[in-house]
Amino acid sequence: MKHHSKRRSANEASPGFQIAPMIDVVFVIMLFFMVMAGALQKEVRQFTRLPMVIPDPKDAPPIELSIRIDGDGQVLLNDDPVDGPGEGSLPLLADQLHLIKTGTEDVSVAIQAEDDVRYQRIMDVLDAVGLANIRNVTFVAGAE
């Protein structure tokens, strides 16, 4: 009885290089990349307006004004003469205060009057400040 050997003999040919499985692998890889290429989103330039920081008017430093009243009744706003000496309303002072007030909400006024100023002149200045709708008013004592 012949003993069958599991070894192939030298004259039997090997099946050789199989191309069909390689083609299958290439088609699977190609199919994968085709599917993934459709899933990618195209990049598009989009012009957007970025939000800007708008400064809060409450963060701005307060405007501090100085009103000085000389002994003859002359009113000075930050050392600049306003209206004339005497008694009566102060329309130029009221207009200037109103213009300053429209730019911001936080305005403070310091009023300094000399000792011999008539009280009516101080009331005229307070009326002008009130017409400008300025609420923060302080009085400064004269230097001795």
The answer to the question of residue 88 being in a domain is yes
- Give the pLDDT score at 28: 95
- How many Å apart are CA 8 and CA 18, to the nearest integer? 19
The answer to the question of residue 47 being in a domain is no
pLDDT < 70 positions in the chain: 1-13, 56-60, 87, 142-144
C-beta atoms surrounding 49 within 10 Å: 5
The answer to the question of residue 17 being in a domain is no
The answer to the question of residue 18 being in a domain is no
The pairing of beta strand 63-69 with beta strand 107-113: parallel
- Give the pLDDT score at 3: 57
The values of phi and psi at residue 116, to 5°, are: -95, 15
The CATH number for 103's domain is: 3.30.420.270
Tell me which residue range forms the domain holding 121.
57-140
Name the 3-class secondary structure at 7.
Answer: coil
Given a contact cutoff of 8 angstroms between Cβ atoms, the answer to whether 58 and 74 are in contact is no
The pairing of beta strand 80-82 with beta strand 136-140: unpaired
Residue in the block written with tokens 């069909």: 20
5-45 pLDDT per residue, tens: 556 565 666 777 888 889 999 999 999 988 888 777 777 77
Domains in the chain, number: 1
pTM over the 0.85 mark: no
The answer to the question of residue 132 being in a domain is yes
What token pair was written down for 4? 């069958």
Cα angle 102-106-110, degrees, rounded to a multiple of 5: 105
